[in-house]
A and B are shown apart, each in its own frame.
Chain A
């Protein structure tokens, strides 16, 4: 079964600190991996997208890594801000034999940044 597992489920950190979120997946055949940020009551917003050949991608204070061999990804947030409080979702997309791209979403990591 294609799965995406994220850890930790929730995380509380102090403003200014760094943190790393994890994503393990079994989705196959792999097409791409994305990280999204979802604020409460809003739709997800894309942070990064990586294909098989990419092992790191940055977007400001967000840096995602991908190890396609071990099927693991991480999202590192540097110098956290209060506005980083949100759910961070890992999404792995597979490509079917018919050429369709089907995403599988993780349950997300809920991050709370305290002042």
Chain B
């Protein structure tokens, strides 16, 4: 079955770090751009970051640039998002998604990150 599964969410204190993972199964992971999207409580979808198939290009939303790092390990079919210096407004469900030409036909179920002291 073609799917994405996120993990790594949880409760984290402001200023601390967390690493999210997303494992892709049932498809050739290294063939696709990959994307992180988040949804804060009561808010809409917000694009977070993109990474090219070989990891050579990475792009970030202004709200996370300099604090979050997207990466991938194609040998492990895994996408990562390193969250550093987290803030209260980073509390959200984080989704990973597989890209096509920029549209996102495949999504994971999401992992919840809660930033609180």
Q: Is B a genuine binding partner of A?
A: no
